[in-house]
Structure 1
């Protein structure tokens, strides 16, 4: 199942460490099935962040293939990963670029986390660039509970099939 990620820019009054309030525009990422659902979900998420009025300034489809959160990391980085494949007809190397969003504390850690995220990849790849993303937080549609339930259902179904045989 393919996930569509939406970048949402939201303008609101934010209380800073000094106690003063400033109008700020922050970028958030969430997955949804449509722009309408993305707008609804970011509205619900922002109600938890601020009691002030806020405006959704922009919603656009993000070009991330995968999102990888890592523990004890506080920033998000966009990693450009070039998948290298050999073109059978011409015999030349062909590169296909994908983008990962990885959580890390600095660029070096983002590179290491990108490499970890790509560890199960069968083909060769390179990481030509990593840039810090303006994304402040990520709101995935599913939580771990749904994934655990899905795994349980798959195991339970497999056991039922084995019993029938």
Structure 2
């Protein structure tokens, strides 16, 4: 099942490290099935971020094929990946672009993380561009079933305990 990612721009009063409060507009990414759900989800997420009033300034569909968080990374980068395939009819190389959102600390690390994300790709590809994204945080949708499924899989694969006679 493919995921639709939405970029949400939210304007709110933010307290900076200096203690100064400023009105700022930040961009967040979340997955949803519709604009309406995206609006409801960003509203819930922002309630946890700020007790102040906030305004959702814009919601748009993001063109990310995949999102890859990495531990110990604090910024998000947009990686343009060109998949290379041979056109059977013309015999020429055909490039198809897709975009990954990868978490990293710098561009070099973003390139390495993009390469890791593409490790299972069978075809040829190149990474012609990586840019830092304005996205501050990503909120993937979790139903809670993932945790239960994980527990179920652990129970399924666990060895039965030997019974004492």
| Structure with the larger helix share | 1
The SS at the match of 2:119 is coil
Greater mean deviation of Cα atoms: 137-146 or 50-59: 137-146
The SS at the match of 2:158 is helix
Tell me how many residue pairs correspond in the alignment.
165
User: What is the Cα deviation at residue 146 of structure 1?
Assistant: 1.2
Which structure 1 segments of 5+ residues have no match?
A: none
Which structure 2 segments of 5+ residues have no match?
A: none
User: What is the Cα deviation at residue 48 of structure 1?
Assistant: 0.2
Q: Which string of whole-angstrom CA distances, capped at 9 and with x for unpartnered residues, describes residues 95-139 of structure 1?
A: 000000000000000000000000000000000000000000000
Measured in 2, the distance between the counterparts of 1:133 and 1:71 equals 17
Measured in 1, the distance between the counterparts of 2:148 and 2:48 equals 26
User: What is the Cα deviation at residue 42 of structure 1?
Assistant: 0.1
Moved over 6 A (4+): 153-165
Aligned match of 2:154: 154
User: What is the Cα deviation at residue 86 of structure 1?
Assistant: 0.4
The SS at the match of 1:160 is coil
Measured in 2, the distance between the counterparts of 1:151 and 1:80 equals 36
User: What is the Cα deviation at residue 160 of structure 1?
Assistant: 17
Cα distance, 1:22–1:120 mapped onto 2, change above 3 Å:
same
Cα distance, 1:151–1:84 mapped onto 2, change above 3 Å:
farther
User: What is the Cα deviation at residue 24 of structure 1?
Assistant: 0.1
Measured in 2, the distance between the counterparts of 1:4 and 1:16 equals 32
Measured in 2, the distance between the counterparts of 1:149 and 1:57 equals 37
Q: Which string of whole-angstrom CA distances, capped at 9 and with x for unpartnered residues, describes residues 34-77 of structure 1?
A: 00000000000000000000000000000000000000000000
* TM-score normalized by the length of structure 2: 0.90
Cα distance, 1:94–1:154 mapped onto 2, change above 3 Å:
farther
Aligned match of 2:25: 25
Measured in 2, the distance between the counterparts of 1:10 and 1:88 equals 47
Cα distance, 1:164–1:69 mapped onto 2, change above 3 Å:
farther
Measured in 1, the distance between the counterparts of 2:164 and 2:34 equals 40
Cα distance, 1:162–1:65 mapped onto 2, change above 3 Å:
farther
* TM-score normalized by the length of structure 1: 0.90
